[in-house]
């Protein structure tokens, strides 16, 4: 079994590449953390951040009081996060590198698992979810986010002929067979990711759309106007205003 971030989709031919980690302090990391804080009580719980990258997202979760283990297959990113943890003097967070196979943790090791914009990069979605379920205790919580098909721009880019700027508008709206051929990562409809999690045995407790954080809008006045008039709040009922789908679910109690 392999759950590395490179490889082929089980059902369709898919070029899946490693994602670019978020930068420390980006709005997207703050927004995800706020959503998680509304969905889960993390204080005092053992939490796994699956696919932490450089730890920019984990750092936003650290003040919530959980005992956090963050893991990733990129040893360089994990080393950067370890340096950050040491400099910040954070004692309740640890970073672990692993080889992309079975997670290096025992069964039922965690009370909750979080994962943000990672599932679209793994080689085998179901294998990854089964490993998450294995290390999650019965009755434990899973909150994850995946890219939203109905956002205007392809968030992970695509290899398209004659188009060096790969964030082409509406590319993600194309039929799955075309998207899978050129995209650098999978993309999801809300119903599809909910169905996948349910098929892997999780009990769904909620699904919502996260509004675009506008980190890519470089001119602050324009960003402020867009945030005030269009992209208000952390979540939305309008799929076209959302970059990610958030799903909360639970492993059935034994």
Start-to-end CA span in the chain (Å) = 25
CA–chain centroid gap for 248, Å, is: 12
Asked if residue 122 lies in contact with residue 98, where contact means CB atoms within 8 angstroms, the answer is no
Average pLDDT, the chain: 86
DSSP H or E segment with residue 70: strand 67-72
So what's the pLDDT on residue 46?
Answer: 98
How many whole angstroms separate alpha carbon 205 and alpha carbon 247?
8
Asked if residue 250 lies in contact with residue 196, where contact means CB atoms within 8 angstroms, the answer is no
pLDDT band at 9 (very low <50, low <70, confident <90, very high): very low
How many whole angstroms separate alpha carbon 227 and alpha carbon 62?
26
pLDDT band at 214 (very low <50, low <70, confident <90, very high): low
Asked if residue 111 lies in contact with residue 142, where contact means CB atoms within 8 angstroms, the answer is no
pLDDT band at 1 (very low <50, low <70, confident <90, very high): very low
Higher pLDDT, 28 or 137: 137
Higher pLDDT, 192 or 169: 192
pLDDT at 173 over 60: yes
Cα 68 to Cα 13, 94, 114, 217, 227: the distances in Å are 35, 6, 10, 31, 31
pLDDT at 207 over 70: yes
How many whole angstroms separate alpha carbon 201 and alpha carbon 78?
30
So what's the pLDDT on residue 169?
Answer: 81
pLDDT band at 254 (very low <50, low <70, confident <90, very high): confident
Nearest one of 50, 41, 29 to 234, comparing CA atoms: 29
pLDDT band at 66 (very low <50, low <70, confident <90, very high): very high
So what's the pLDDT on residue 79?
Answer: 96
How many whole angstroms separate alpha carbon 248 and alpha carbon 230?
25
pLDDT band at 218 (very low <50, low <70, confident <90, very high): low
pLDDT band at 34 (very low <50, low <70, confident <90, very high): very high
SS3 135: helix
Nearest one of 60, 16, 68 to 42, comparing CA atoms: 68
So what's the pLDDT on residue 65?
Answer: 93
pLDDT at 210 over 70: yes
The predicted model scores a pTM of: 0.87
So what's the pLDDT on residue 2?
Answer: 37
So what's the pLDDT on residue 58?
Answer: 97
Q: How many Cβ atoms are within 10 Å of 7's Cβ, its own excluded?
A: 17
How many whole angstroms separate alpha carbon 51 and alpha carbon 165?
27
So what's the pLDDT on residue 163?
Answer: 61
So what's the pLDDT on residue 179?
Answer: 87
Higher pLDDT, 225 or 11: 225
Q: How many Cβ atoms are within 10 Å of 106's Cβ, its own excluded?
A: 9
pLDDT at 164 over 80: no
β-bridge mates for residue 206, sequence order: 248
């Amino acid at each position: 079994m392999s759950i590395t971030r490179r490889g082929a989709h089980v059902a369709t031919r898919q070029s899946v590449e490693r994602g670019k980690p978020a930068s420390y302090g980006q709005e997207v990391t703050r927004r995800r953390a706020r959503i998680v804080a509304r969905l889960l009580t993390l204080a005092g719980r053992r939490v796994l951040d699956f696919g932490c990258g450089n730890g920019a997202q984990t750092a936003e979760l650290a003040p919530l009081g959980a005992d956090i283990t963050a893991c990733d297959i990129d040893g360089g990113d994990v080393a950067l996060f370890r340096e950050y943890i040491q400099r910040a003097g954070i004692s309740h967070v640890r970073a672990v590198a692993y080889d992309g196979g079975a997670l290096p943790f025992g069964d039922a090791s965690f009370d909750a698992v979080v994962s943000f914009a990672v599932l679209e990069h793994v080689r085998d979605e179901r294998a990854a979810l089964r490993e998450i379920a294995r290390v999650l205790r019965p009755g434990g919580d899973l909150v994850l986010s995946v890219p939203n098909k109905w956002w205007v721009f392809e968030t992970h880019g695509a290899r398209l002929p004659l188009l060096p700027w790969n964030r082409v508008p509406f590319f993600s709206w194309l039929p799955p067979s075309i998207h899978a051929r050129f995209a650098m990562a999978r993309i999801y409809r809300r119903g599809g990711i909910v169905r996948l999690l349910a098929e892997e045995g999780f009990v769904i407790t909620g699904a919502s759309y996260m509004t675009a954080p506008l980190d890519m809008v470089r001119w602050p006045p324009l960003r402020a106007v867009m945030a005030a008039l269009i992209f208000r709040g952390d979540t939305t009922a309008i799929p076209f205003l959302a970059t990610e789908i958030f799903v909360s679910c639970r492993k059935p109690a034994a």
